[in-house]
Amino acid sequence: MIICPNCSHQNPDGAVQCESCYTPLPATLACPSCGAMIQADAHFCGQCGFNLKSAAPLPATEVMTSGPITAEGEADLGMGTLDPLITPDPLEIPPLPDLAELSGASAASVAAAPVSPGSQEATFATLPEILAPAPPHPIPAAPIAGQHTQLQQQSARLLHLQTNTTLELPQGLTIIHLGKPNDRIPPDIDVSGFPNSDIVSRVHADIRVEGDDYYLEDVGSANGTYVNNLPLSPGNRHRLRPGDRIALGKGDLVTFLFQLA
């Protein structure tokens, strides 16, 4: 029996794939000691324990041929007498022309001669093209004075909903402070001129810029910061996305929409 290595199904001797899961079965051979069928890659016979790796290999003459041995010790394979190999004629290639002569010759003087059928002479019609120097790479033009390459930069802004006023976030800052004038941390976005700004703390919230991402965090305001009508806990930050609604203080009285341009 041949046991399937995939599903352990017992298959009859000589089977090439499992009858249950159709997995290819390992090859089998007969134990040289007891004749039991075992896997070809086994080290020991499962019936008599014979060490299969210590078994001597078969003589080369028994493996390679079963025909009679000639007097010279070679096996007669019944193929008859082979004709001796025919040595081909050597290929004659003319010597290459002198490079010094080619450098002073014109392209017309070294044109290829026609090759007749059956001729083995080699011609080099493209030697002038091969030996010609490669064209130089074009040199980029120098920039015109006063002309600068402008990279498109992403800018962010806050739209105050109560007054429809747009506030551009300052560029070049990694931390943008939102609040009202004070002696400790002056605001980068001053909301003191908007209605109901009395509910906004002097140091209310920060917008942190990290690459192209903007993060809003409350820095301990008295009336809190809200994003999309949800309170933002102090110490936590929210990644701003276009259209996010930011309220400084309770009651949605000082409200901004975050926008990217």
pLDDT tops 90 at residue 27: no
The more confident residue out of 70 and 174 is 174
8 A C-beta contact, residue 19 and residue 11: yes
Task: Map out the domains of the chain as residue ranges.
Answer: 1-59, 156-260
Q: How many CA atoms lie within 13 A of 184 on its CB side?
A: 8
Expressed in angstroms, the distance from the first to the final Cα of the chain is 75
Sort residue 135 into left (φ over 0), alpha (ψ -120 to 50) or beta: beta
Q: Are 225 and 218 in contact (CB under 8 A)?
A: yes
User: What is residue 219's predicted lDDT score, i.e. its pLDDT?
Assistant: 93
Residues paired with 221 in a beta bridge: none
| pLDDT tens digits, one per residue of 195-208 | 999 999 999 999 99
Neighbours of 216 (CB within 10 A): 21
Per-residue pLDDT averaged across 13-32, rounded? Answer: 73
Work out the average pLDDT over 106-116.
Answer: 48
DSSP-assigned beta bridge partners for residue 245: 257
Residue 110: which pLDDT band, with cuts at 50, 70 and 90? very low
Tokens of 50: 């014979």
What band does 60 get if pLDDT is binned at 50, 70 and 90?
A: very low
pLDDT, tens digit, 9 for 90 and up, residues 222-253: 999 999 999 999 889 999 999 999 999 999 99
C-alpha gyration radius of the chain: 45
A 10 A CB-CB count for 15 gives: 15
What pLDDT sits at residue 115? 47
Residue 39 scores a pLDDT above 50? yes
Which residue, chain included where needed, has tokens 């930050």? 237
Lowest mean pLDDT among 89-98, 109-118, 136-145, 164-173: 109-118
Say which residue, 165 or 11, is predicted with more confidence. Answer: 165
Q: Where are the alpha helices (DSSP H) in the chain?
A: 60-64, 99-104, 127-131
Name the least confident of 8-22, 51-65, 198-212. 51-65
- Give the pLDDT score at 99: 59
Cβ neighbours, 10 Å, residue 191 = 21
Distances (CA, A) of 130 to 121, 127, 133, 134: 20, 5, 8, 9
Contact predicate 206/187, CB 8 Å: no
Q: What is the pLDDT of residue 3?
A: 74
pLDDT bin (cut points 50, 70, 90) of residue 7 is confident
Query: Where is average pLDDT lowest: 75-89, 109-123, 210-224?
Result: 109-123
- Per-residue burial over 19-40, b = 16 or more CB atoms within 10 Å of its CB, e = otherwise: eeeeeebeebeebeeeeeebbe
When pLDDT is averaged across residues 74-86 and rounded to a whole number, the result is 56
DSSP-derived pairing of the beta strands 175-179 and 189-190:
parallel
CATH code for the domain defined by 156-260:
2.60.200.20
Q: Answer yes or no: is pLDDT of 168 > 70.
A: yes
Which residues neighbour 3 within 8 Å (Cβ) at sequence distance 6 or greater?
A: 9, 10, 11
Confidence at 10, pLDDT banded by 50, 70, 90: confident
What integer pLDDT is reported at residue 77 of this predicted model? Answer: 52
**Above 50 in pLDDT, residue 104?**
yes
Amino acid at 180: K
pLDDT of residue 82: 59
Q: So what's the pLDDT on residue 12?
A: 75
Write down the pLDDT at residue 121.
45
